Amino acid sequence: MEHLIELRDIYKIYQMGDTAVHALDGVSLTVDEGEFVAIVGQSGSGKSTAMNIIGCLDVPTSGTYHLGGVDVSTMDDDQQAEIRNKMLGFIFQQYNLIPKLNVLENVELPLLYAGLSASERRERAMASLQRVGLADKCKNLPSQLSGGQQQRVSIARALAGNPSVILADEPTGALDSRTGREVLSFLQKLNAEGDTVVLITHDNSIAVKAKRIVRLQDGRVIYDGDARDPQAVVQPEEDVGAELDGEVLDA
Ligand SMILES: Nc1ncnc2c1ncn2[C@@H]1O[C@H](COP(=O)(O)OP(=O)(O)OP(=O)(O)O)[C@@H](O)[C@H]1O
Ligand SMILES: [Mg+2]
């Protein structure tokens, strides 16, 4: 069977003077339609690098990446932009909404780049806002919404283009824990409705809400499996000490 996402032996190497930094050091990973995968790992483990490659924002130094059966690992910028528009919906930590545009216009914007007519854009954007429960706020400016609502607008924007994959990079990072949980249960709902979700987070309590966890360390996959397996949230050793310290302080 063809995988929706297939990374095969991906390396991303940055040359820094005399040293070569292996941001990704031989990553192989597949994601199928309908999955909800959390990519986790400590700071510097390669999460953003992986996200940029999966999101067709960057190309690997070596290895191949197939998205929807198409080899995207050697595409130029224009080809990447086209496939991004067609296949991917992005959700960022900082929402990236345009302050001067109202909610509806923000959601319509990517559809403009996709070349849809004005009426199609309106229809799709409204349907998308309905899905996130914000149709009644469509005339508001982003500044007239709460943080959680702004993140839901950015989710509506990601959904409007009918993407094959929703890529969320620390989507709860800027939210308080309650609003963060709301956004997360929202992603779970989308996944239950059939959407494929790839979530990047450094937070285990967020990651366990996914169905599957992929843990990176030093640019390598050190765990890939069921999110409910206790092994999924085992921290690399250097972290255990830090966590124990925290507990002692809390006590
Ligand atoms: N443009 C770059 N040039 C040189 N080194 C880089 C570059 N981008 C990333 N790196 C290095 O690659 C490694 C992985 O970085 P990456 O940003 O993917 O980590 P991360 O898991 O997203 O971390 P964080 O949780 O802090 O966001 C790090 O060692 C980083 O210093
Ligand atoms: Mg990062």
Segment 148-157, tens digit of pLDDT: 899 899 999 9
Name the closest-CA residue to atom 25, ligand 1: 43
How far apart are the CA of 47 and the centre of ligand 2, in A? 5
- The answer to whether residue 163 scores a pLDDT higher than 60 is yes
Residue 23 Cβ contacting ligand 1 at under 6 Å? yes
Q: Which two tokens stand for residue 122?
A: 């309106």
For residue 238, how many other CB atoms are within 10 A of its CB?
9
Cα pseudo-dihedral 88, 89, 94, 96, rounded to 10: 100
How far apart are the CA of 52 and the centre of ligand 2, in A? 10
Residue 169 Cβ contacting ligand 1 at under 6 Å? no
pLDDT band at 250, cuts 50/70/90?
A: very low
pLDDT in tens, 205-245: 889 999 999 999 999 999 999 998 888 887 766 555 454 54
Q: Which atom number of ligand 1 is nearest to the Cα of residue 52?
A: 18
How far apart are the CA of 218 and the centre of ligand 1, in A? 10
Q: Which atom number of ligand 1 is nearest to the Cα of residue 48?
A: 22
- The answer to whether residue 246 scores a pLDDT higher than 70 is no
pLDDT in tens, 88-147: 999 988 888 999 999 999 999 989 887 889 999 999 999 999 999 999 999 999 999 998
- The answer to whether residue 247 scores a pLDDT higher than 70 is no
Residue 143 Cβ contacting ligand 1 at under 6 Å? no
pLDDT in tens, 41-84: 999 999 999 999 999 999 999 999 999 999 998 889 999 999 99
pLDDT in tens, 189-210: 999 999 999 999 988 888 999 9
Could you give phi then psi for residue 139, rounded to 5 degrees?
-95, -5
Q: Which atom number of ligand 1 is nearest to the Cα of residue 49?
A: 18
Q: Which two tokens stand for residue 108?
A: 């319509």
pLDDT band at 249, cuts 50/70/90?
A: very low
Residue 15 Cβ contacting ligand 1 at under 6 Å? no
Residue 238 has what pLDDT? 54
Q: How far apart are the first and last CA of the chain?
A: 51
The alpha carbon dihedral of 222, 33, 24, 157 has a sign of negative
Orientation of helix 147-160 relative to helix 103-113, angle to 10°: 30
